[in-house]
Structure 1
Amino acid sequence: MAVAIFLLVPGEFLLTRMRAGFASIEKATDEVRVTAESAMESAEKTARSLEDVRRTLLDRQRDEHESELDVYRDIVANLSRESLVRALRKATEEEVISAQGVRSPIWETPLHYRYVLGSEDRLEVRLEKDNGDILSSHPWEPGVAAEDFCQTLVQAVRDAGEDLGVGLNDPTHALQELSEMLVEVTRHRAQELMGHREKLKRIIELREGWYFTEKSMVRATDLQYVIGAKRLDEMDWEAHLLDKGWYEAPEAIQFARRLYGTN
């Protein structure tokens, strides 16, 4: 009996030690698992934080871009001498428009308004022909209300013999088209990789679905298609572009030749 008890004691002791060892291993395993889960959770939090930062940065960039567009939208939303000067100054400094001024066609006439910003924010609007000949020039002096200055432009068109009648002699239409063009061009130029910053540079006018810059004409609906001003006499562009189904192109080509003096 004593021998049996003696033999059982070491076995029970060994079993206890083994159980303690298993418990220790299990505890260590749990600690490793908790540590791993904590590390994973921390990594996930870090990833979310980076995404939050990214989203914040991109939102700021979009807000900045919209603020830039608002400068041009203000020509329509808050027309005044100051809002037009601010838009022209920004567009000139960023080489969106020609430093010689940007033009808007006067609806259903052969005339154009050219908006010219001089030194010390001197602002004048010229009435021009296709080739740039100036018919009249009208400074917008500080303190003059928008409606009063626009009435001056109404009279200028009348004096040029191009008044279309009641409700149709509207210089605000040209200003709205100018605003819309500046917004659209700024969107096109927003990302360098789009490749439009060089093409849409120093613009003179948007007409007949084409941008006319100081050096070339660019199709508004296909900005990859550019015709240099010096190439206008190389071939029969009218027939070539008609073959593409671009039915506005002949008029645009003829206008370009008058504008660039390549007739």
Structure 2
Amino acid sequence: MSNHGKIDRTGRRTGRWLIAAVLGAVGVGLAYLSWLVRFDDPWWSSTLGNMAVAVLLLVPAEWALNWARIGFKRITRAAEQAQATAQEAVNTANQTARSLDEVRDSLLQRQFDEHETHLDMYRHMFSDPSREALIRGLRRAADESITSPSGVRSPIWESDLHYRFVLGGPDEDSLTINVETDDGTVLTFREWNDGVAPVDFYQQLVEAVREVGGDLGVGLNLPTESVKDLSEMLEFVAEKRSQELAGHRSTLKHIIERREGWFFTDEAVLPKHDLGYRIDVDRLDEMDWENHLRGKTWYDASYALDFARRLYHVQEQPPKTRPTSGPPLMEPRNF
């Protein structure tokens, strides 16, 4: 508290004492006068006595009023302090809430930025034609078990041929691209050596397709389109696998190829209509899958399953027929 405030409080206290002393003196004086004239003039004596009583009563009234003022001021100060404390607590709580929201938003933004950086590795496989960008994207997909350890394939447009992209070992900086048939037979291959310009290597792939009789003519032999399809497929899969609760990390893995939207992995075939539905490779010959999937209105299943049987070297079994007698066969289960 400042010196000015202390002086002001002392002055107010002295003034209250002076008022009380004056009132007391006046009261006593009136009482004394009343006593002096009690015999000479009883009426004045009575009047002065009443006045003395009234004046003397003002002293305790003044003190009572003063104490009331003091008490009221104390209550007011306490209420103001409590209100200030409560407001400070509210402000602190609001600030904490804002701070946590800001932390949450910052964490989310970092995660989204990291995810976009992750996806950019696959986008750059096409937007950046360099050998390093292609190897970097393929290596990331292999490390995350997105692609098959034996390499990932991409269809060659409007043909039954495929490019398979095969990396060297974890410590090797090598990339080989095979030209294969549906069943994985390697017809020819090209290795992209360090220092070879992108346009020169892609021309080698053009010549590799011509070498095996797969060239469709002018403007139709473009290996860059196969790389673009591969880049988009890996980006799509990485997006699907970005959250564990979505359930795709356990199915979209060890992918060999995506063809017409269907995924073919080392373990299963995943229809494009429902990526949570899987047909295990070792069960492709167990039932008439074509009719079963046609019942789900997946009318492209026949083409996809024919391709799968060639890819996995599975012999199609004839559909089972019901016997003319005996208990009925069990209906196929919905796998």
1:208–1:248 Cα contact (<8 Å) kept:
no
Distance in 2, matches of 1:107 and 1:79, equals 19
| Equivalent residue in structure 2 for 1:4, among 54, 59, 69 | 54
**1:157 counterpart = 2:209:** yes
- Indicate the residue corresponding to 2:258 in structure 1: 206
| Equivalent residue in structure 2 for 1:13, among 63, 85, 94 | 63
Matched-pair identity in %: 54
In the TM superposition, structure 1's runs of 4+ consecutive aligned residues that sit over 2 Å from their partners are: none
- Indicate the residue corresponding to 1:232 in structure 2: 284
- Indicate the residue corresponding to 1:75 in structure 2: 125
Deviations 1:23-66 (A, max 9, x none): 11011001100110011001100111111111111111111111
2:273–2:298 Cα contact (<8 Å) kept:
no
AA in 2 matched with 1:105: P
- Indicate the residue corresponding to 2:326 in structure 1: none
Consecutive unaligned residues of structure 1, counting only runs of 5 or more, are none
User: Which shifted more, 132-141 or 154-163?
Assistant: 154-163
AA in 2 matched with 1:109: S
Tell me the secondary structure at the aligned position of residue 166 of structure 2: strand
1:102–1:204 Cα contact (<8 Å) kept:
yes
- Across the aligned residues of Structure 1 and Structure 2, the Cα RMSD in angstroms comes to 1.0
Distance in 2, matches of 1:146 and 1:159, equals 20
| Equivalent residue in structure 1 for 2:218, among 151, 163, 166 | 166
Tell me the secondary structure at the aligned position of residue 104 of structure 1: strand
Q: Taking structure 1 as the reference length, what is the TM-score of the superposition?
A: 0.97
Instruction: List aligned pairs for 1:1-263, cutoff 5 A.
Output: 1-119=51-169, 120-263=172-315
1:113–1:126 Cα contact (<8 Å) kept:
yes
Distance in 1, matches of 2:234 and 2:69, equals 80
Alpha-carbon offset, residue 243 of structure 1:
1.9
Consecutive unaligned residues of structure 2, counting only runs of 5 or more, are 1-50, 316-335
1:208–1:251 Cα contact (<8 Å) kept:
no
1:209–1:248 Cα contact (<8 Å) kept:
no
Distance in 2, matches of 1:82 and 1:131, equals 29
1:72–1:182 Cα contact (<8 Å) kept:
yes
AA in 2 matched with 1:200: L
Distance in 1, matches of 2:174 and 2:273, equals 34
Report how many aligned residue pairs link the two structures.
263
Q: Taking structure 2 as the reference length, what is the TM-score of the superposition?
A: 0.77
Which one scores higher on RCO, CA 8 angstroms, separation ≥ 6?
Answer: 1
Alpha-carbon offset, residue 221 of structure 1:
4.0
Tell me the secondary structure at the aligned position of residue 161 of structure 1: coil
Instruction: State which structure, 1 or 2, has the greater radius of gyration over its C-alpha atoms.
Output: 2
